[in-house]
Amino acid sequence: MITLYTSPSCLSCRKVKKYFDKYNIKYIEKNIMHTRLTRDDIFNMLVNSENGFEDIISPRSKVFKEANVDFNSMTIHELVDFIVDNPTILKRPIIVTETDLQVGYNDDDITLFLPPEIRNRECSFCLGPHENCDYVKALKVDNESSKEAVE
């Protein structure tokens, strides 16, 4: 299952939700402003990150700039607790699955979350393998083919 960490004012968060809704990709949304994050939430983010905390903490955030904290001297558990208490320090959106982590919205990378049978498909709507595929049309063709096969 996909967990999407968002905030209300985040344009990229809205883009991800719109994309997921368009392709009927199921997700659980956790609005970091309304739902208290848990330590497990943070560890689930970190387990698939390439660069640890650097991937999820925004040095441009107000909390980061105003905190008189030496993040480098904190233990992992202290830093996780700090994030739980100050969730606006996180980059957004953060998209987490059992095996993947994506931070932010990127037109190319977001296709990772499409079902593999659609993502890997070559179809007449594509310019080439995986290039500018119209996944909505591909899904529609798949659904129509399935209906015809049943009839």
Q: Are residues 107 and 137 in the same domain?
A: no
The model's pLDDT over 91-137, given as tens digits with 9 standing for 90+, comes to 999 999 999 999 999 988 998 888 777 766 645 555 555 455 555 56
Is there a single domain that holds both residue 138 and residue 104?
A: no
Between strands 27-31 and 2-6, the pairing is: parallel
Give Cβ neighbours of residue 118 (< 8 Å, ≥ 6 apart): 23, 135, 138, 139, 142
Residues 66 and 89 in one domain: yes
pLDDT in tens, 35-83: 999 999 999 999 999 999 999 999 889 888 888 888 889 999 999 999 9
Residues 15 and 70 in one domain: yes
Report whether 94 contacts 53 (CB < 8 A): no
Number of separate domains in the chain: 2
User: In angstroms, rounded to a whole number, what is the distance separating the alpha carbons of residues 46 and 41?
Assistant: 9
125 and 109 within one domain: no
Is 10 part of the annotated catalytic residue set?
yes
Residue in 10, 13, 123, 126 annotated catalytic = 10
Question: Hey, which residues does 28 pair with through a beta bridge?
Answer: 3
Its sign, for the CA torsion 109, 55, 22, 118, is positive
* Domain with 140 in it: 115-151
pTM assigned to the model: 0.78
Q: Are residues 79 and 129 in the same domain?
A: no
- Which 3-state string (H, E, C) describes 113-137? HCCHHHHCCCCCCCCECCECCCHHH
Same-domain status, 69 and 136: no
Q: Which residue's entry shows tokens 């698939």? A: 48
